[in-house]
Structure 1
Amino acid sequence: MGVGGELELRPALQRIVDTAASLTGARYAALGVLDPEHRRITELFTHGPTGPERDRTGEPPGGPAGLIGELLRDPRPLAPEDPTGDPRSPGVPGGPPRTHTFLGVPVRVGGEVFGHLYLTERRGGPFDDEDLALVTVLASQAGIAVGNARLYETARRRERWIEGAAAVTTALLSGRSADDALTTVAEQARILAGAAAGVVLQPTEEGGMEIVAASTRDDPEGLVGTTILPGSPVLVQLLGGEPVFIEDSATDPRMTTQVRSRFGPSMMLPLQSGGRLIGTLALPRRRGDAAYTAVEQSLASRFAAHAALALLLADAQHDRERLAVYEDRDRIARDLHDLVVQRLFATEMMLESTRRRAAGEEGTQALIGRAVDELDSTIQEVRTAIFALQQPPADAPTTFRGRVLRETRGAAVLLGFSPSVRFTGPVDALVREPLEGRLLAELRGALAAAHRRAGVSRIEVTVDVTATLPDGGDGVRLLVRDDGAREDGGPGTVFAWEADRRAGAGPEAPDTP
């Protein structure tokens, strides 16, 4: 009853050992937990031996030899009358190197051998039939207790994995960037699996896989950027969406990366949902750590599937948000074009008509002329704003007009205000490389020079592809005006640059300063 009261597995195993020693009067007791696949002792719980005695004993025998090997081959109660003369007796796990009395009983959980209970050095003489009966009953009850503790531990572990998966979903849907999302998946999986590292790999264009996100207990240096080259045996399973379980990364021939020597047991799980492979989640442990159990592999595989779905949902949500932004920008652009520009143009036409009717009044004509010029300039700037709204904010511009706007937006960060930009003529159709590159370089230099001048609060940029050069040729003119102080003390500075449009067809056409 006392053994069955423990819900935690490790305390339950230790209590089984202590109880067995107390019931039989054994000086030394041990419970060896078996690896079900390799039939060897992987963990030992002891009662009685001191530190020096453990040191003299060394590693517990877990091979085919001795009394321990006999129990491994034939898991039935074993109680030799004289262990000292038994050729199968090399010593008992956790006890003295040589024993005078011995009792071994298997502990079964659900019909399978979980481990063996070893007792030695009974006070008062050899173990008798009553001791054997007591320990056999105890082993039977211990099997039930171990089964219950396993179920409890599995339930708690499953609960932690579910909570971790929910935390990943919440974090991903909160709007984090793609890199942060992958790092979140790697970190949560590492913590839940008790791994030394959690890494996410994604397919490369060459057909391999590259680590793009990593979370480790120590310094992750050297992990991110590590590539599994095409042709690696493990890639066939990974790219096919199959999990890979490895007992020792350092010695497994399927592992070819340089960092494999740092790790031991590992599992590599596909991040896929709906037939789409996003990448692979790898969870390596340190060398010498326990291998992953079947339960851990199952829980981690479900976590990977859940994380992949969360990544797809986060990506879809990001796309929807971007689409909503684009739709809103398009609506604003349409409103500006259909309402603002049209009204400004109508007002300009009315002023132009008024100026013609006031032909005899020079002052009125000049005033109306300036108003018309201002309206024309405003229309150009509004059209420039419409064009900027129609460009995806995160994408690199693909047109000459977009690249000019990108330069002025970049300068606005240093200037503290946005320069106004005006285009005259079909700039995207008439400006080509190498003329485009030279004009952008001149614009960049003019904006930098304006930033260095004192008192600049306004900059006007004009790109005119309908300009006529002094020799009568068709040209491109760049004007950058600012209201800063000139070296001679005058107000305002103008930077002007011209080039023949034929420069777009080859580098032989000279610039005109």
Structure 2
Amino acid sequence: MAGVPSSTVEFVDREEADQRIPEVPRLEIDELIDQFLDRAHELKRARGRVWELLRSIQAVTGDLSLERVLRRIVEAACELVGAQYGALGVIGHDRGLEQFIYVGVDGQTAKSIGDLPEGKGLLGALISDPRPIRLRHMGDDDRSVGFPPGHPDMDSFLGVPVRVRDEVYGNLYLANSENGEFSADDEELVVALALAAGTAISNARLYREAELRQRWLEASAEVQEQLLSTSGEDPLRTIARKSIVIADADLVTVGLLTPARDEFVVEFAFGERADELVAQRFPLPGTIGERVIVGGQPYMTGIIGDPDFPGSHVASVIEVGPLISLPLRGNEEPRGLLTVARKRGRQAFSDTEVSMAAVFASHASVALELADVRAAEQRMIMLEDRDRIARDLHDHVIQELFAIGLSIEGAAGQLHSHPELAQRLHSRVEDLDRAIRRIRTSIFELRGNVAISREGLRQSILEVVSDVTPALGFAPNVTFAGLLDLEFDESLTADVIATVRETLTNVAKHAHATSVKVDVEIVHNELTINVVDNGVGIDNPGRASGIANLSARAHNHRGSFVVAPAPGGGTVASWKVMTR
């Protein structure tokens, strides 16, 4: 103001200022400043923990190897909240712990502890109810079951589920906080890390499945190439050999069903103690193999030996855990099974591994069908070759023998002054006739089903001889003569078959013979069957009921049956009937 000294103005300003600023005690201002600084420190620490969380997430998500991702999750969680011990338990198909990745416990301590946890107590509580658990003292919780001998002391505990999409993949376990107990902030940080870990696990699993599919597809291409080849390794063996490597299995077998379909034989096996299974027979009833064969669908299980699961042949050589069994299909029904097994305690097979193994099983099915086709082709080639040989024998060899026989008979007829020499020549002609009959029998055996139908009398007799051969211990010498391939009355055919079977069976039971000749001949509607053995003979032919039956059969066709001693020892059984 004009005319007012400056000192007066300054005094007025101070007075007005004193009136505007309230009087506050200095102690209260210091407290406010301290609170502000504490909040600033908390914000700074929170920012630091956020940065630690981000670094942990980066460490967890920066790899595509599932094994390394799981370990980094545990390591990052321990560093994030200052835990002395940490572990990640992967939940298996049986709701137990399939894998247990731990940090903070050295190898010697782990060895002294023994088997890894099975998922009981607090660990099992998180499996049955996947919600975070935070404890100041584990021993205070009723769900705690204590620790095995040699286990390190653990007090504070924090457990958080790890989810992959909507599936609980496993649980993250932390123990012994450096601060004495885990805080609510620690819990929130670990929950956030578990969410990021779920994404990392999902990516690693997808990458692993992609790699796995690639390996299966490469192996499938190799198998397909082998299927098209007629040389080299058996495709079934290739399939078994590739399966054990790609599926990371401990034992793989390929088994084929027996004709009765109640057993199977292990054709190929690779892995632990595989040699003990090859060429072994195993029953199907009550086993996984029966389920696969009857149902025609793949079967996967977690642990063999559980009461809920049937047994498996691989359990006879190893302690089996996860297992896949797949049917090997034929055109109409399963032909065998492919079994891929891991030992107990190992990781279960994934759905991808099951589907890709099923593709391999389809290759095995194709291999079996191709093998059948090739075998049929080889059989046809063999039969055609036999038919060619039979034609040559019939058209050339037999005709030449006939010509030689006629020449000898002509020469014998001119030797009136040398009757002994003529008789010897006639004997040689008879030898040629017998040789021709044997050649004709061989021609028929060579042609087999190519030449005539299975209903022919000749074929029926050969089948009976083949059936009785094991009982005899040797193959009888069979010869045929005459038009035996004509169509005969069914009752006559049945009696002929019964006669040959009965006489050969009697030889096998009583004669103690080392050779038998069966001569079958038709001459002017008369059929003769002579069975000659070199055995001990028969004491009283009239007392044998079998002989009486054969006599009755011969009588029904206006014939006879006679049993007599053979000239050189043994027995001659002669059955003669009329065909018309």
Please classify the TM superposition score into its range, dividing by the shorter chain length.
0.5 to 0.7
Q: Name the counterpart of 2:569.
A: none
TM-score by length of 1: 0.63
- Alignment-derived partner of residue 505 in structure 1: 550
Corresponding residue number in structure 2 for 1:210: 263
Residue of structure 2 in register with 1:255 after alignment: 310
Change in Cα spacing, 1:422 to 1:209, as seen in structure 2 (3 Å) is closer
> Deviation of residue 7 (structure 1)?
4.7
- Cα 1:433–1:175 change in 2 (3 A) is farther
Contact conserved, 1:17 with 1:31, CA < 8 A, in 2? yes
Corresponding residue number in structure 1 for 2:103? 47
Q: Deviation at 1:103?
A: 5.3
Task: Write out aligned runs for 1:395-414 (5 A).
Answer: 398-400=460-462, 403=465
- Amino acid in structure 1 at the alignment position of 2:503: L
Q: State the shift of 1:244 in Å.
A: 3.9
For 2:248 and 2:392, locate their aligned partners in 1 and report how far apart those are by CA, in whole Å.
55
Residue 434 in 1 paired to residue 502 in 2? yes
Distance verdict in 2 for CA 1:349–1:319, change over 3 Å: same
The alpha-carbon deviation at position 243 of structure 1 amounts to 3.8
Matched, 1:115 2:170: yes
Question: Matched residue of 1:399: which SS?
Answer: helix
Deviations 1:415-445 (A, max 9, x none): xxxx998656689986624333456789984
1:412, 1:67 → 2: CA distance? 72
| SS of equivalent residue, structure 1 residue 42 | strand
Name the structure 2 match of 1:271.
328
Change (3 A) 1:439 1:258: closer
**Contact 2:249/2:341 (8 A) holds in 1:** no
Shift of 1:505: 1.4
Secondary structure in 2 matching 1:328: helix
The alpha carbon displacement at 1:114 in A equals 2.5
TM-align CA RMSD: 6.0
Task: Give the Cα–Cα distance (whole angstroms) in 2 for the partners of residues 445 and 314 of structure 1.
Answer: 42
Question: What are structure 2's unaligned runs of at least 5 residues?
Answer: 1-57, 486-492, 523-527, 553-560, 567-580
Once residues 167 and 434 of structure 2 are traced to their aligned partners in structure 1, the CA distance between those partners, rounded to angstroms, is: 87
Q: CA–CA distance in 1 between the matches of 2:68 and 2:62?
A: 10
- The 3 A distance-change label for structure 1 pair 84 and 148 is closer
- Corresponding position of 2:387: 330
SS at match of 1:49: coil
The structure that has the greater radius of gyration is: 2
**Cα distance change, pair 217–359 in 1 and its aligned pair in 2 (3 A):** same
Per the alignment, do residues 6 and 367 of structure 1 end up closer, same or farther by CA in structure 2, a change over 3 Å counting? farther
Q: Are residue 241 (structure 1) and residue 296 (structure 2) matched?
A: yes
Which sections of structure 1, spanning at least 5 residues, go unmatched? 414-418, 448-460, 468-473, 481-494
Amino acid at match of 1:255: P
The amino acid of 1:115's aligned partner reads: G
Alignment of 1:74-153 (within 5 A): 82=136, 90=144, 97-100=153-156, 104=159, 106-110=161-165, 112-123=167-178, 139=194, 142-153=197-208
Q: Distance in 2 between matches of 1:401 and 1:504?
A: 21
SS of the residue corresponding to residue 364 of structure 2 reads: helix
CA distance, structure 1, for counterparts of residue 289 and residue 211 of structure 2: 32
1:248-397 correspondence runs (5 A): 248-253=303-308, 255=310, 266-281=323-338, 290-346=347-403, 348-349=405-406, 376=433, 378-391=435-448
Is 1:83–1:89's contact at 8 Å kept on the other side of the alignment? no
- Structure 1 residues 59 and 276, CA gap change in structure 2 (3 angstroms): closer
Matched position secondary structure for 1:98: coil
What's the offset of the Cα at 1:225?
4.0
* Matching residue within 519, 525, 530 for 1:476: 530
* Whole-Å separation in 2 of the counterparts to 1:187 and 1:40: 31
- For residues 533 and 422 of structure 2, the distance between their equivalents in structure 1, rounded to whole angstroms, comes to 27
Deviation at 1:162, TM superposition (A): 5.5
Q: For 1:71 and 1:434, locate their aligned partners in 2 and report how far apart those are by CA, in whole Å.
A: 74
Specify the SS of the correspondent of 1:30: strand
Q: Does 1:13 align with 2:70?
A: yes
> Are the counterparts in 2 of residues 265 and 286 from structure 1 also a CA contact under 8 Å?
yes
Letter matched to residue 434 of structure 1: E
Distance change >3 Å, CA 91–CA 168, structure 1 → 2: farther
Structure 2 vs 1, CA of residues 289 and 138 (structure 1 numbering), >3 Å: closer, same or farther? Answer: closer
| Alpha-carbon distance in structure 1 between the residues aligned to 2:519 and 2:68 | 83
Partner of 1:114: helix, strand, or coil?
strand
Residues 135-169 of structure 1: CA deviation (Å, up to 9, x unaligned): 66765554454334323443454456567766599
Stretch of structure 1 that moved more, 145-154 or 1-10: 1-10
Give the 3 Å change call, closer, same or farther, for CA 62–227 of structure 1 in structure 2. Answer: closer
Change (3 A) 1:435 1:118: closer
Q: CA deviation at 1:11?
A: 3.5
Structure-2 change in CA distance of 1:128 and 1:224 (3 Å): same
Deviation at 1:48, TM superposition (A): 0.8
Aligned length: 459
Distance change in 2, residues 1:391/1:38 (3 Å): closer
CA contact (8 A) 1:477 1:497 kept: no
CA separation of 1:223/1:8 partners in 2, compared to 1, >3 Å: closer, same or farther? farther
Seen in structure 2, the aligned counterparts of structure 1 residues 381 and 360 have a Cα distance that, compared at 3 Å, is same
Shift in Å, 1:31: 1.8
Displacement of 1:322 = 1.8
d(CA) in 1 for partners of 2:117, 2:126: 14
Secondary structure of 2:365's aligned partner: helix
Q: Separation in 1 of the partners of 2:69 and 2:370? A: 43
Task: Return the alpha-carbon distance in structure 2 between the equivalents of residues 255 and 43 of structure 1.
Answer: 24
Q: What secondary structure is seen at the aligned counterpart in 1 of 2:391?
A: helix
Q: Distance in 1 between matches of 2:181 and 2:360?
A: 53
Measured in 2, the distance between the counterparts of 1:49 and 1:104 equals 18
CA displacement at 1:512 relative to structure 2 = 1.6
Distance across 1 between alignment mates of 2:158 and 2:434: 101
Matching residue of 2:87? 30
Q: Matched residues in 2 for 1:158 and 1:130: separation? A: 42
Q: Distance in 1 between matches of 2:303 and 2:466?
A: 56
Q: Distance in 2 between matches of 1:122 and 1:296?
A: 40
**Is the Cα–Cα contact under 8 Å of residues 432 and 504 in structure 1 kept in the other structure?**
no
Name the SS of the counterpart of 2:205 in structure 1: helix
Query: Cα distance 1:340–1:221, how it changes in 2: closer, same or farther (>3 A)?
Result: closer
Query: TM-score if structure 2 supplies the norm length?
Result: 0.57
What is the CA-CA distance between 1:386 and the residue it aligns to?
Answer: 0.9
